């Protein structure tokens, strides 16, 4: 596997989930693959889980790891071609990318949607330039429209906890004070449909996601109705996708916060969130601390999704 930005890059999802469980059972069995290989992780945005779990996964595989925080200590990067660079950005991405490629074997990139231009975000302008100009295999550590390592970990977590062959999985929008990307809900919806689950998405009107990612899921505007009979509740905030309001906050209605009353409508559902999570905005203390909350397990599986992806990339070097 040379690139990993979408569920499609895995080929068969069931096969990849099986492989991930094998990796989990024997995390240090593939150390020979990473010997004398270097991973470079490039962050345009903050991270706790992605940074640590991906580094740990690479170390499990015997790799060396370098981390660059573009906004801390590196030259500020110009990303637009044709700009007269007389401002505050001394370096262009078009030199920086091939230079970074010289020092490593695999590149991971985190570059969130900026919400400045929907077309740039949804054409994945930044990560696609790494794919084009780095000369290296590239994987997403959350790009503008997707967070595939998170969705992969989420599917592993559901497979490990599900009690029915085809669980009802509900993605619910929840309020948040800042505008957040659609990457996590896009990927979660797409991967959950691909995994064959019954997928229901609930959100206030105006928060419709791109049908490119939600195809095969049912949209239910009544959150209580969506929760009925659910086996998994996956909470997440996102900003509006529709053209007129792209990147805007349309609601901070705390009646959408996931609480014990709503969880009682489900079929004893597990609670999931990718983290970081704002308590008592997205979910109450009681729900996230409950026995049905599997958010830590979910975060732990980020090591496994990253290791499975890196293993496949190392195998194809």
| Residue numbers at the binding site for ligand AN0 (CB under 6 A) | 142, 180-181, 183-184, 274, 276
- Asked if residues 20 and 305 have their Cβ atoms less than 8 Å apart, the reply is yes
Q: Which of 167, 193, 195 is nearest to 268 (CA)?
A: 167
CA 82 to CA 316: how far, in whole Å? 36
CA 204 to CA 176: how far, in whole Å? 13
Stretch that binds ligand CP, among 44-52, 202-210, 226-234, 263-271 (CB under 6 A): 44-52
Among 145, 150, 190, 293, binds ligand CP (CB under 6 A): 150
- Asked if residues 148 and 6 have their Cβ atoms less than 8 Å apart, the reply is yes
Closer to ligand AN0 by Cβ: residue 183 or 263: 183
- Asked if residues 192 and 272 have their Cβ atoms less than 8 Å apart, the reply is no
Stretch that binds ligand CP, among 9-17, 30-38, 71-79, 271-279 (CB under 6 A): 271-279
Site string for ligand CP, 116-145 (x = CB under 6 A): --------------------------x---
For residue 40, the cross-strand partners are 66, 107
- 48's contact among ligand CP, ligand AN0, none, with CB below 5 to 8 A by partner kind, is ligand CP
- Residue 25, both tokens: 């059972």
Give every CB contact of residue 125 below 8 A, 6+ residues apart in sequence. Answer: 79, 144
Helices 93-102 & 125-133 angle (0-180, nearest 10): 50
Instruction: Give the residue at shortest CB distance from ligand AN0.
Output: 180
- Report the nearest approach of ligand CP to the CB of residue 142 (Å): 6
- Report the nearest approach of ligand CP to the CB of residue 152 (Å): 12
111 touching ligand CP, by CB under 6 A: no
Q: 168 phi and psi, to 5 degrees?
A: -85, 120
273 touching ligand CP, by CB under 6 A: no
- 181's contact among ligand AN0, ligand CP, none, with CB below 5 to 8 A by partner kind, is ligand AN0
CA 285 to CA 23: how far, in whole Å? 33
47 touching ligand CP, by CB under 6 A: yes
Closer to ligand AN0 by Cβ: residue 38 or 122: 122
DSSP string, 282-297: TB-HHHHHSTTB-HHH
Closer to ligand CP by Cβ: residue 196 or 276: 276
- Strand order in 270-272's β-sheet? 218-219, 198-202, 168-173, 232-236, 270-272
Among 68, 219, 265, 275, binds ligand CP (CB under 6 A): 275
301 touching ligand CP, by CB under 6 A: no
- 183's contact among ligand CP, ligand AN0, none, with CB below 5 to 8 A by partner kind, is ligand AN0
Closer to ligand CP by Cβ: residue 49 or 168: 49
Instruction: Give the residue at shortest CB distance from ligand CP.
Output: 50
- Asked if residues 174 and 39 have their Cβ atoms less than 8 Å apart, the reply is no
311 touching ligand CP, by CB under 6 A: no
Interface with ligand CP (CB under 6 A): 47-50, 142, 150, 274-276
């Amino acid at each position: 596997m040379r690139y990993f930005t979408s569920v499609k890059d895995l080929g068969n999802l069931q096969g990849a989930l099986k492989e991930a469980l094998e990796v989990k059972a024997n995390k240090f069995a593939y150390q020979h693959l990473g010997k004398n290989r270097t991973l470079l992780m490039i962050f345009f945005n903050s991270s706790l889980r992605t940074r640590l779990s991906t580094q740990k996964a690479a170390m499990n595989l015997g790799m060396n790891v370098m981390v660059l925080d573009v906004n801390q200590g590196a030259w500020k990067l110009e990303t637009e071609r044709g700009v007269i660079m007389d401002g505050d950005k001394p370096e262009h991405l078009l030199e920086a990318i091939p230079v970074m490629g010289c020092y490593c074997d695999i590149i991971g990139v985190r570059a969130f949607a900026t919400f400045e231009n929907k077309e740039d975000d949804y054409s994945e302008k930044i990560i696609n330039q790494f794919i084009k100009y780095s000369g290296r295999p590239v994987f997403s550590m959350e790009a503008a429209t997707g967070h595939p390592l998170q969705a992969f970990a989420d599917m592993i977590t559901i497979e490990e906890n599900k009690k029915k062959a085809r669980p009802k999985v509900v993605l619910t929008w929840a309020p948040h004070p800042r505008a957040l990307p659609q990457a996590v809900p896009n990927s979660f919806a797409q991967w959950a449909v691909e995994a064959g689950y019954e997928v229901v998405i609930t959100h206030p009107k105006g928060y419709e996601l791109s049908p490119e990612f939600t195809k095969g899921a049912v949209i239910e505007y009544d959150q209580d109705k969506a929760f009925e009979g659910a086996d998994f509740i996956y909470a997440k905030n996102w900003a509006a996708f529709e053209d007129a309001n792209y990147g805007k906050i349309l609601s901070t209605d705390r009646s959408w916060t996931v609480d014990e009353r709503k969880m009682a409508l489900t079929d004893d559902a597990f609670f999931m969130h990718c983290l970081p999570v704002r308590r008592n905005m997205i979910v109450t203390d009681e729900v996230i601390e409950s026995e049905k909350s599997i958010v830590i397990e979910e975060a732990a599986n980020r090591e496994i999704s990253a290791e499975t992806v890196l293993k496949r990339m190392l195998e194809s070097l």
